[in-house]
Amino acid sequence: MPPFTVQDFLKKKREGQKITMLTAYDFPFARIVDEAGIDAILVGDSVGMVVQGLENTLPVTMEEMLYHTRLVSRAVKSAMVIGDMPFMSYQTSLEEAVRNGGRFLKEAGASAVKIEGGSEIAEHVRVMTRSDIPVMAHIGLTPQAIHRMGGYRVQGRDEETARRLIEDAHILEDAGAFSIVLEAIPMELAKRITEELTIPTIGIGAGPHCDGQVLVLHDVLGLFERFIPKFVKRYANLKEEALKAIRDYKEEVEKGIFPAKEHSFR
């Protein structure tokens, strides 16, 4: 399969085909996601929670994100790799946004970056896009704003915030974002935004009407159990499988069953 690009995001929307996206953070899982034919891999700052065991995504650093993006880029043959810009790597200034956004493309093999926020980051989207750094926007529940939002809550349920989210989506499209993640918003609001924009919407907890969907890989595979949001569907329970395999190994070593002759040298 040829590499999936920003142009393919737009083409899929025009042709009414759904865009598939998952997160990944390392070589083996990125290989699997790529082999499965997923269109785009987001190296999300969710790495902080599902891999590093942090309470939220705020402490994740640029260097960590570049490291994980490199591992993923190395594994991928056709999926588009999108690097998630961590907290305070773009909010501080337009210059920082361009410099750090550029590092994802220059040093880590990403083809695009994602940043969180509404109209307040429109200028960041504009300057990065002008510098040939394709930007995916992210509105609704934006985990980097957890302290302002007071928790991981559905956004846009009242008229005023719904109106602001619609306005933000248009402003971000006008600023040059090639796509926009809608996280944890009512499905009718996501439908309206999806219909009004020419760029594709990628939903996570935003219902079935978005142009594509994204989930955190560790949620999909049953590898993260601290909490399971309502919008997650588990397609496997790899934790149980891993537990069984490791317990079997332990038992076989203890009983002298492993290693057998076929695992030993003469």
84 is a contact residue toward ligand KIV (CB under 6 A): yes
Complex with ligand KIV: residue 54 or 166, whichever CB lies closer: 54
The candidate with the shortest Cα–Cα distance to 62, out of 19, 23, 106, 12, is: 106
Query: In angstroms, what is the minimal distance from the CB of 57 to ligand KIV?
Result: 6
* Under rule CB under 6 A, residue 216 binds ligand KIV: yes
Spatial distance between the Cα atoms of 216 and 221, rounded to a whole number of angstroms: 9
Considering only CA atoms, which of 89, 136, 144 is closest in space to residue 112? 136
Q: Is 123 a catalytic residue?
A: no
Position among 65, 162, 193, 204 found at the interface with ligand KIV (CB under 6 A): 204
Burial degree of 227 (CB within 10 A; 0-12, 13-18, 19+): exposed
Minimum distance from residue 235 beta carbon to ligand KIV (Å): 16
Binding mask 126-165 for ligand KIV (x = CB under 6 A): ----------------------------------------
Residue 1 to residues 36, 39, 179, Cα–Cα distance (Å): 11, 10, 22
Catalytic residue among 55, 167, 183, 240, which? 183
Given 214, 220, 221, 223, the residue binding ligand KIV (CB under 6 A): 214
**Among 181, 193, 221, 223, which residue sits at the site for ligand KIV (rule: CB under 6 A)?**
181
From the list 85, 105, 30, 82, the residue with the least C-alpha distance to 212 is: 82
Question: 45, 86 in Cβ contact below 8 A?
Answer: yes
Could you say whether residue 110 binds ligand KIV (CB under 6 A)? no
For the segment 8-47, give every residue that binds ligand KIV (CB under 6 A): 23, 42, 44-46
Please, are residues 228 and 34 in contact by the beta-carbon 8 Å criterion? no
- Which neighbouring-strand residues pair with 202? 181, 212
Which residues are catalytic, by number?
A: 183
Give the footprint of ligand KIV on this chain (CB under 6 A).
Answer: 23, 42, 44-46, 84, 181, 183, 204, 214, 216
